[in-house]
Amino acid sequence: MVEDPKRKPLVALAVLLLLSSAQAGNTDRLSGHNCTDFQTANFLQGRKLKVQFLLFTSSNPSCGELILPEDGIKNSSFNNSLETKIIIHGFRALGTKPSWIEGLVHAILHTSQVNVIAVDWVYGSTGAYPSAVENVTQLALSISQFISKLLALGISGTSIHIIGVSLGAHVGGLVGHFHGGQLGRITGLDPAGPKYTRASPEERLDPGDALFVEAIHTDADNFGIRIPVGHIDYFVNGGKDQPGCPRFISAGYEYLICDHMRAVHLYVSALKHSCPFMAFPCASHQDFLNGHCLDCVDPFLFSCPRIGLLEQAGVSMRKLPREVKVYLMTSPSDPFCVHHSLVEFHLQKKRSMVTSIEVTFFSNSTKDTAKITIPKDQEMGKHLLAHRVPLCQIKSMTLKYLPQSHFWKKDESSIVGKFCAAPLPLNSNRTMSCLPWNLTLPGNTDISHDLPTTCT
């Protein structure tokens, strides 16, 4: 039985309280300065914010350098000529260090030469969610003061990129708001939904908060926000439920936060791997799956946005449109990235019944499937197929016609037609590659064909 999603937050605290995973702050000696870890707060201690700014650099990505309030930046490894990424975590029910911090810091420093600042507000973020929310304004003020110190050193606002997770995304929005929307970029990783969906744009993350604002939505029906809040909003697999996440309460903690945390894991994967997390503007996820949104001409003038660190997500426009919902699929497990292809089947003659055909793409190591449905009295059906390797590495494919099994009406034992496919985004000519002959597909039988494409 699937649990009523509305009950999730209620069981959340109970489950969280059962899990005690206090982490000791590791401090070891490294050349010049001591390493500082995140604090650990008892969940009843959410009285003071005790914000810490920890600097990570590529010369020492595992060692957090505590930036002291007075003149701490000048006397640190902070490099004024590099861009700065500021990571802000969200609600921490148990007052523990976020488990994903190290992975995210390493992934950023693996990709780019930047200053990474992790904001530790574990103390203020613990206890009950509403009290963490009450602390958000004060936290945003203290991060703003920190940024003002950076600006005073001659660092440009445009070189500052805030990456906020869940509640941290809205903190980033407030910080950006305090800086008049002139900071370079804010990335919201599944921005929190509870208490924010109906908040005013001033209170939550919105496109006015930075020169470029993007959000990755993975749990819009629970802990995430369902409305678009950036210039570009990625609704991953529709933005609600993620493949590979448990759908039953028996999975405990994983069941509660898997969808929500997927945004962080996707982002880390996008930084670590070259596979493009490319997304497509569309009216809905269903329209996207049904092959109605195949390029990024409107509104992105051909350049499709990609999750990751490309400038403006790879979209080459001077003035960005706002709150554009873009869609992409992922695989159930790390590295999550897939390539999207459109697959089509054209019947030689129309049928008075719905026609279902299963399409499977095989590479040396992968097998990925989609189902084409041709409505009755129509000639053609199409669907997107998400495959984990590029189309040029797909060696073969199978087509399987699935006859309808109504006991009052026997379906045809085979169908004849033509198969076509094309990788997304479709080029301006919208050309598809088709198998050069009509295929006969017997019922419930895999018909195999080579797909002789080459990687360029």
Torsion of CA 172, 176, 177, 182, to 10 degrees: -160
From 165, 56, 166, 55, select the one nearest 107 (Cα to Cα).
56
Least separation in angstroms between CB 50 and ligand NAG: 8
**Catalytic residue (one of 177, 260, 340, 387):** 260
Choose between 148 and 427: whose C-beta lies nearer to ligand NAG.
427
DSSP code string of 416-439: EEEEEEEESSP-TT---EE-SSPE
Choose between 34 and 413: whose C-beta lies nearer to ligand NAG.
34
Least separation in angstroms between CB 73 and ligand NAG: 11
Residue 219 annotated as catalytic:
no
Least separation in angstroms between CB 173 and ligand NAG: 19
Q: Residue 172 corresponds to which amino acid?
A: G
Least separation in angstroms between CB 226 and ligand NAG: 26
Number of other CB atoms surrounding residue 456 within 10 Å: 4
Which SS3 state, helix, strand or coil, does residue 195 take? coil
Choose between 4 and 70: whose C-beta lies nearer to ligand NAG.
70
For 71-227, strand residue ranges (E) read 83-88, 114-120, 160-165, 185-189, 212-217
Choose between 132 and 372: whose C-beta lies nearer to ligand NAG.
132
**Catalytic residue (one of 76, 125, 159, 166):** 166
Rounded to whole angstroms, the Cα distance separating 185 from 194 reads: 24
Q: Hey, what are 381's tokens?
A: 């059906």
**Catalytic residue (one of 37, 120, 190, 368):** 190
Residue 260 annotated as catalytic:
yes
Number of other CB atoms surrounding residue 107 within 10 Å: 20
Contacting positions for ligand NAG (CB under 6 A): 33-34, 46-49, 75, 79, 81-82, 113, 124, 131, 134-135, 138, 348, 364, 393, 418, 427-429, 431, 437-438
Least separation in angstroms between CB 455 and ligand NAG: 8
Rounded to whole angstroms, the Cα distance separating 419 from 385 reads: 13
Residue 295 annotated as catalytic:
no
Least separation in angstroms between CB 374 and ligand NAG: 14
Rounded to whole angstroms, the Cα distance separating 230 from 209 reads: 9
227's torsion region: left (phi>0), alpha (psi -120 to 50) or beta?
A: beta
Per the CB < 8 A criterion, the answer to whether 234 and 217 are in contact is yes
Choose between 126 and 330: whose C-beta lies nearer to ligand NAG.
126
Which SS3 state, helix, strand or coil, does residue 208 take? helix
Residue 408's contacts (CB-CB under 8 Å, 6 or more residues apart) are none
Residue sitting closest to ligand NAG (CB): 131
Number of other CB atoms surrounding residue 97 within 10 Å: 23
Residue 418's contacts (CB-CB under 8 Å, 6 or more residues apart) are 345, 346, 348, 434, 435, 437, 438, 439
Choose between 350 and 410: whose C-beta lies nearer to ligand NAG.
350
Least separation in angstroms between CB 142 and ligand NAG: 9
Choose between 114 and 372: whose C-beta lies nearer to ligand NAG.
114
Q: What is the DSSP letter of 210?
A: S
Least separation in angstroms between CB 32 and ligand NAG: 7
Rounded to whole angstroms, the Cα distance separating 429 from 201 reads: 40
Choose between 53 and 235: whose C-beta lies nearer to ligand NAG.
53
Q: Enumerate the active-site residues.
A: 166, 190, 260
